[in-house]
């Protein structure tokens, strides 16, 4: 998985670009939140700097995952089309300084490194894009589904934690 590790500051300074695609099946945390491991994500990462000269990465994630509808308990394809700006900090202290300086909740400040794992970043982005309580816009008629299948699905849904609770635990960030 070497292709997913970058030197974050060099990547930004040289304004590098990288893109690729990942299977949901390759992302264990996303798989755990999904109804099954079908689906794939296209991603792109662009290095640069913000108006104040901070090193930044722009990440886009575009694709679809199978989520369990919390109303009718059948899986459906949820489209992810997400872009975020990440400002790179040297360490936690520097991250706090930049956050205070930017004073903008929509911009994430992350601690960069020479061995920055962008696969984690892509997975985080996808997890944050997933609704906490996914539902069909309009549920299909499920009266034909067998009662056994519905019961089995219900047990699985009951065990699941919200993606936000899981992310908090893993990242320790707000
Ligand atoms: Zn539904």
With a cut of 90, say whether residue 166 has pLDDT above it.
no
Distance 76 CA to ligand 1 centre (A): 8
Distance 87 CA to ligand 1 centre (A): 37
Mean pLDDT (whole number) for 137-144: 76
Burial class (CB in 10 A: 0-12, 13-18, 19+), 12: buried
Mean pLDDT (whole number) for 73-96: 96
Distance 137 CA to ligand 1 centre (A): 7
- Measure the CA–CA gap between 39 and 41, rounded to whole angstroms: 7
User: So what's the pLDDT on residue 158?
Assistant: 46
* 150 or 31, which is more confident: 31
Mean pLDDT (whole number) for 97-118: 94
With a cut of 90, say whether residue 6 has pLDDT above it.
yes
Q: Is the pTM of this model over 0.95?
A: no
Own/partner pairs, 158-161, CB within 8 angstroms, 24+ separation: 160/32, 160/33, 160/68
With a cut of 60, say whether residue 70 has pLDDT above it.
yes
Distance 28 CA to ligand 1 centre (A): 24
Write down the H helix ranges in the chain: 8-13, 28-33, 92-102, 118-129, 147-159, 163-171
Distance 112 CA to ligand 1 centre (A): 40
Distance 120 CA to ligand 1 centre (A): 30
> From the DSSP assignment, how many helices (H) and strands (E) are in the chain?
6, 7
Domain holding 83, by residue range, is 2-171
Per the structure, how many domains does the chain have?
Answer: 1
Distance 140 CA to ligand 1 centre (A): 6
């Amino acid at each position: 998985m070497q292709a997913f590790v970058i030197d974050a500051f060099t990547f930004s300074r040289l304004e590098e670009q990288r893109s690729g695609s990942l299977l949901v099946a390759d992302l264990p945390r996303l798989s755990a939140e999904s109804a099954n491991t079908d689906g794939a994500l296209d991603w792109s990462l662009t290095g640069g700097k913000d108006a104040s000269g901070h090193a930044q990465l722009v990440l886009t994630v575009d694709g679809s995952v199978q989520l369990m509808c919390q109303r009718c308990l059948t899986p459906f394809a949820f489209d992810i089309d997400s872009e975020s700006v990440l400002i790179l900090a040297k360490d936690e202290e520097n991250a706090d300084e930049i956050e205070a300086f930017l004073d903008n909740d929509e911009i994430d400040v992350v601690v960069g490194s020479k061995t920055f794992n962008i696969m984690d970043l892509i997975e985080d982005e996808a997890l944050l894009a997933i609704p906490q309580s996914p539902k069909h816009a309009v549920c299909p008629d499920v009266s034909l589904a067998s009662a056994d299948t519905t019961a089995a699905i219900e047990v699985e849904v009951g065990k699941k934690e919200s993606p936000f609770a899981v992310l908090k635990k893993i990242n320790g960030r707000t």
